[in-house]
Amino acid sequence: MSYVDHFRHADDVIAHLNTVVPGLPDPLLKTKYAGFVTVAAVTVYELAIKDIFCEFGRKKHKILGAFSESYFKKINGRVTLDHIRKDYCLRYGDVYVTKFKTQLESSNKTHLAAHRRDLRSSYSNLIVWRNAFAHEGAVPATVTYSEVVQAYQDGKEVIHSLAATMIR
């Protein structure tokens, strides 16, 4: 299974909610749906990240593949950019930390010029919103459903940058 296959789960949820949420008169309910999307989004990010590193490990060496699968069973939502760089990429060598930083900077520069949105900020914000919703039952009142969906779409580019980094 390719890491991008995991996106289908959140994409399907969003596609359905896009037909429902705009017509809702209750802003509180719209916020709750936005929170639900954050949980789905970060879940698929976690699954994709696991797949990227496990596939990389398997391709490098049988033992590294076994280590990767064992290690990534325990990431449980720890998918911030700092975790990816300092914990995950670093386990495979400094070269992958540098490659990820370079790849993400390149993707971000292109995305920023085209869409005027920073991929890193979108990705990081989505994780913060998810944590607020999952652990406190709240999404910041200033965040709209549309912004959450857009942040999810932007964040997928961060995952694509990681996948482009972790190739043998």
Per-residue pLDDT of the chain (168 residues; tens, 9 = 90+): 799 999 999 999 999 999 999 999 998 899 999 999 999 999 999 999 999 999 999 999 999 999 999 999 988 889 999 999 999 999 999 999 999 999 999 999 999 999 999 999 999 999 999 999 989 888 777 899 999 999 999 999 999 999 999 997
Instruction: From residue 102, give the alpha-carbon distance in Å to each of 46, 77, 79, 99, 118.
Output: 21, 24, 18, 5, 15
Stated pTM of the model: 0.94
Nearest to 163 by CA among 40, 7, 37: 7
> Which tokens sit at 77?
């939502």
Nearest to 96 by CA among 48, 156, 53: 53
Separation CA 145–CA 24 (nearest Å): 11
**Domain extents for the chain?**
3-165
- Classify burial at 157, counting beta carbons within 10 Å of its beta carbon; exposed 0-12, middle 13-18, buried 19 or more: buried
Separation CA 50–CA 57 (nearest Å): 11
CB 18 within 8 A of CB 149: yes
